[in-house]
Amino acid sequence: MRVRWPLGDRPEACACALAAIADFRPHVTVIFDPAALPAEALRELPGITLGVLTGGLPAAQDEHGLGHLVRVISFRPALSGARAAGIHVWRSIPPPVSDALFGEVRPVRGRPMAMTVGRSTPHREAMLMPAKHHHDLLQVIHGVSGETLMELLRDYDVGVYVAPAPGGGFGAQVAMHLAAGQLLFSETLLPAHGLERNIDYLHFDSPQELVWMLDRLRRFPEMHQRIRVRGHLKAEQYRASKVFRRVVHDLLADLAVFG
């Protein structure tokens, strides 16, 4: 069961959300971005509580609620073992991708179309601007989710990933593009989480290289279909249902030994 926490933390809405979770009687409750929830809600969540940090370590003022979590995990490997704000980061995992976003690898018909997803940052704009001008690269900044996002992923052949800042990264968009069956063009992935450069995705280092790669793909649309298939197969290791099945199994084993 998935519950979206009420915006604004209205008491009556929060009570309804907690009641819905309690009625489900979960053995394990997974909370994304737990610092955004009221401390009272974290205390009342049923089952074994697993917090997922979607960004960095929470601020010190959030310590009062996070101490109620049984374990905390992160999407950033560098935070594994870190202690702050009253919590200990148990382990890290790659950003999972919703099962609903998985599609098929489709044959390219006509001119390949490319898209990128992510908030605007100076680094992203510098890397993407030439491609947006030369190839009508679609940039989705915010506000697209659900069926609208799935339709976009089905309509576009190529996904382009640029980290928010120089130095590379591994955002949730990486697995999303691969899962949807798109050919992935990406900056350096740090960490790579098992993806192999120019085997599962195509790597670029500069705005000019991205434009050149899209030029080549326009001339030879099927030239990288093998990489597209490989990337889609690798996306299975980020499928949310599989990722959390493994994490919950390890969590229960860890609790049995260490409490």
Same domain, 233 and 248: no
pLDDT on residue 206: 97
Residue 43 reports pLDDT greater than 90: no
Query: Average per-residue pLDDT in the chain?
Result: 90
Same domain, 26 and 107: no
How many domains is the chain partitioned into structurally?
Answer: 2
Residue 2 reports pLDDT greater than 80: no
State how far the Cα of 134 lies from the Cα of 216, in Å rounded to an integer: 13
pLDDT on residue 217: 95
pLDDT on residue 85: 66
Determine, yes or no, domain membership for 81. Answer: yes
Q: Return the residue matching tokens 């089952």.
A: 47
Nearest alpha-carbon partner for 139 in 169, 164, 168, 119: 119
Name the token pair of 143.
């506000």
Q: Quote the domain boundaries for residue 228.
A: 99-238
Same domain, 117 and 234: yes
Same domain, 150 and 229: yes
Give the pLDDT confidence of 219-251 residue by residue, as tens digits.
999 999 999 999 999 999 999 999 999 999 999
pLDDT on residue 155: 94
Instruction: Quote the pTM value.
Output: 0.89
Residue range 33-52: average pLDDT? 88
Same domain, 128 and 62: no
Least confident among 36-50, 89-103, 123-137, 215-229? 36-50
Same domain, 131 and 230: yes
Residue 54 reports pLDDT greater than 90: no
Same domain, 128 and 202: yes
Residue 6 reports pLDDT greater than 80: no
Which residues are CB-neighbours of 24 under 8 A, at least 6 positions away?
1
DSSP string, 53-101: ESSSPPPGGGHHHHTT-SEEEES-GGGTT-EETTEEEEEE-PPPB-GGG
Same domain, 105 and 231: yes
Confidence band of 19 (pLDDT split at 50, 70, 90): confident
pLDDT on residue 64: 63
Determine, yes or no, domain membership for 2. Answer: no
pLDDT on residue 60: 66
Residue 86 reports pLDDT greater than 80: no
Confidence band of 214 (pLDDT split at 50, 70, 90): very high
| Alpha-helical regions (H) of the chain | 11-24, 39-44, 63-66, 122-135, 146-155, 172-179, 207-219, 225-234, 240-258
Least confident among 4-18, 172-186, 227-241, 243-257? 4-18
What's the CATH number where 121 sits? 3.40.50.2000
State how far the Cα of 232 lies from the Cα of 178, in Å rounded to an integer: 5
φ/ψ of 189, rounded to 5, equals: -95, 115
Nearest alpha-carbon partner for 186 in 214, 156, 159: 159
More confident residue, 8 or 168: 168
Same domain, 218 and 103: yes
Q: What angle do CA 116, 238, 119 make, to 5 degrees?
A: 25
